[in-house]
Structure 1
């Protein structure tokens, strides 16, 4: 029988013995959904979805490490590996979501309806996402030293706040564009019946990632003695289930059909062929 062991002295990395069956289940679910998205990405040559694929692979690695940690609760590396990769994976999901909106706007010839210039839209949000990713990863790296756990947690918290702000601004940008497009439809939007469902996908995915990020902020603010870190079910309900939902919804309305095309005397555009 597995026993909860201290990492150093009386300090415990875990407040419970991680459930191997639960972690193995989600490792399998993320593996299956990631394989499907890899297949769709290759089939449609949607290279902008590679970040999403990497995020799925990180989820698989994270839950595999978590499943293996049951008898290693006194070891730092299994704890840090599962903690970091599960923590940063949604930032990669978000990067693909940002790119989808930019490509969709171009496909509908609706650049003038975007509150942020389309040539900057993807760059701004992806750069913000990269900052969030790097900050969270740095915080996880600091935690690896073992002597700076609190400092690492504070850095991670800062990265999560950046992620929430960037994602909130993205949601507002998407909503404004959607509202304007309904009021001033373009010929391309009238000719396509799929762009609206793509927007719905973006909204659902964004909401799921936002809820998960808020949960993570609450988790780190409450600290090691808080309810979330003392009860494993919170991780699965407010992170694993939500991120698996992100993968399912993204797969449902996979944006690989937004493909490049040449437009007369202009730069390459995209058209919706979903």
Structure 2
């Protein structure tokens, strides 16, 4: 990539790289929209919104290759590509909670299962709002002091977000360890390969945490750092990695599998209740 300087970028943006990313995200997002509507798995809506944010962000980046001095294109791209992966994580976090519930493994969690969705979703949304505010403020205020303050806000929110995701990852590991030692009927009957599915949550979380670490490193190095001066790093450690997460999630479609497991658990539970009723004889009446 050329080192020719532009108003907002320290390199000449590559049209092929942006076009490939745009094409991949368009396909992945369309696939997730189809799967969400087909299976009515509404927890996947944030994932779809994250895909739309990534797709739109790379559409703006594609346009930016032709108009590298456009502040509107650059600001819009920056906001969408910063928030997109965080939206993907909303679905991963919500689905992990539903997955643990489908295994009847709530007693193994670090945070009581009945509080997880509210606490996890609230914290995730808070980080999203802080990031959006910080980035929007840094892009609209030209004062150096204001830009530095907004950048510090973004960095702080990224750090909080990463520690939160690592906690969610640790929660998944704890559940796996405890469930391996004290299995549940639901895990054996409706989710017999639950360990393999559990690894998909860890994969998604660690990849997105790695992306956060890359963004933090870029902010720490500043505009003259290696990550800011080389465009390929933003694709290798951010753009294409999020494509991998969306692709894996679409291929196995964890929200759909978790929903089927929950429905199967209800069927198994109903069947067991009927069996117990029949064993008590024709005179038994349920209260």
TM-score by length of 1: 0.89
Q: CA deviation at 1:43?
A: 1.1
Greater mean alpha carbon deviation, residues 127-136 or residues 52-61: 127-136
Could you say which structure has the higher helix fraction?
2
Query: Is contact 2:5–2:11 with CA below 8 Å preserved after alignment?
Result: no
Structure-2 separation of matches of 1:57 and 1:96: 14
Say whether the 8 Å CA contact 1:128–1:162 is kept in structure 2.
no
Larger radius of gyration: 2
- Given that 1:44 and 1:257 are in contact with CA atoms closer than 8 Å, whether structure 2 keeps it comes out as no
Task: Name the structure 1 match of 2:123.
Answer: 128
Number of residue-to-residue matches in the alignment = 259
CA contact (8 A) 1:139 1:153 kept: yes
**Residue in 2 that maps onto 1:177:** 175
Does the CA-based 8 Å contact 1:37-1:251 persist in structure 2?
Answer: yes
Match of 1:47 in 2: 42
**Structure 1, residues 6-54: CA drift from partner, whole Å, max 9, x if none?**
5xxxxx3110111111111101101101111111111111001000000
For residues 150 and 4 of structure 2, what CA distance do their matches in structure 1 show?
23
Equivalent residue for 1:223? 222
- Between the aligned partners of 2:227 and 2:167, the Cα distance in structure 1 is 27
Q: Deviations over 1:81-100 (max 9, x none)?
A: 11111111111111111111
Aligned to 1:211: 210
Unaligned runs of 5+ in 1: 7-11, 265-274
Note if 1:258 corresponds to 2:258: yes
Aligned residue for 2:65, secondary structure, equals: helix
Q: What is the aligned partner in structure 2 of residue 163 from structure 1?
A: 161
Aligned CA distance change for structure 1 residues 188 and 15 (closer, same or farther; 3 Å): same
Instruction: Determine the C-alpha separation between the residues in 2 that align with 1:5 and 1:219.
Output: 18
Q: Deviations over 1:94-131 (max 9, x none)?
A: 11111111111111112111121001112222222112
Q: Which residue does 1:242 correspond to in 2?
A: 241
Map Cα deviations across residues 142-188 of structure 1 (whole Å, 9 max, x no partner): 12314143333222212211111111111111110111111111011
